[in-house]
Amino acid sequence: MIRAAVAQDAAEIAAIWNAMIRDTLFTFTTEQKTKAGIVAMIADRPGAVWVAQTDRIVGFVTHAQFRTGPGYRTSVEHSIVLSDGARGQGMGRALMDQACLSAAQQGRHIMVAGISSANMGGVAFHAALGFEHVGRMPEIARKDGQWLDLILMQKMLTAP
């Protein structure tokens, strides 16, 4: 089931996100998310934080304006994270469908995906959802002693 996130989901969202931060090169940050930070994110992004729930939260997606400034108000970037056991079961696709729908309903035109070069599965996933490759920033980040590229993909949500 996909539903809007609520403050009570914050601990489970943080646990899923922190596992990805700690155990992979899929995100460039090393800073763990806190329950309070997730509660604030949910409050700051009404209609833009969604969870996949079975008997527990198994993933989430969120989107926010791509860059600051009024010129970017119609473009959003998203983050999607699934627990290991939830991958390959359609949860990611369902989360992304909801994120794209809610962003379009909020007047957003473009959804951007910034994907680590260590996450080629994520690139394939986004391509299967209709995201197009629009750029690559070589060695833009360093984590765990490795240089990582940022692969940029985007999807049009509304007609121009």
The answer to whether residue 159 scores a pLDDT higher than 80 is no
Say if CB 95 and CB 127 are below 8 A apart. no
Encoded tokens for 16 = 């899923």
Find the domain containing 140 and state its range: 2-156
Dihedral of the alpha carbons of 129, 117, 69, 62, in degrees to the nearest 10: 50
Average confidence (pLDDT) over 46-54: 96
The answer to whether residue 160 scores a pLDDT higher than 70 is no
Say if CB 28 and CB 18 are below 8 A apart. no
* The total number of structural domains that make up the chain: 1
Which among 40, 89, 85 is positioned nearest to 62, based on CA atoms?
A: 40
pLDDT tens digits, one per residue of 77-115: 999 999 988 888 899 999 999 999 999 999 999 999 999
pLDDT tens digits, one per residue of 116-154: 999 999 999 999 999 999 999 999 999 999 999 999 999
DSSP-derived 3-state class of residue 29: coil
pTM of the shown model: 0.94
Whose tokens are 């940050």? That residue is 29
User: Would you call 135 exposed, middle or buried from its count of C-beta atoms within 10 A (0-12, 13-18, 19+)?
Assistant: exposed
pLDDT tens digits, one per residue of 11-42: 999 999 999 999 999 999 999 999 999 999 99
Q: What is the CATH number of the domain that holds 25?
A: 3.40.630.30
Q: How confident is the model at residue 158 (pLDDT cuts 50, 70, 90)?
A: confident
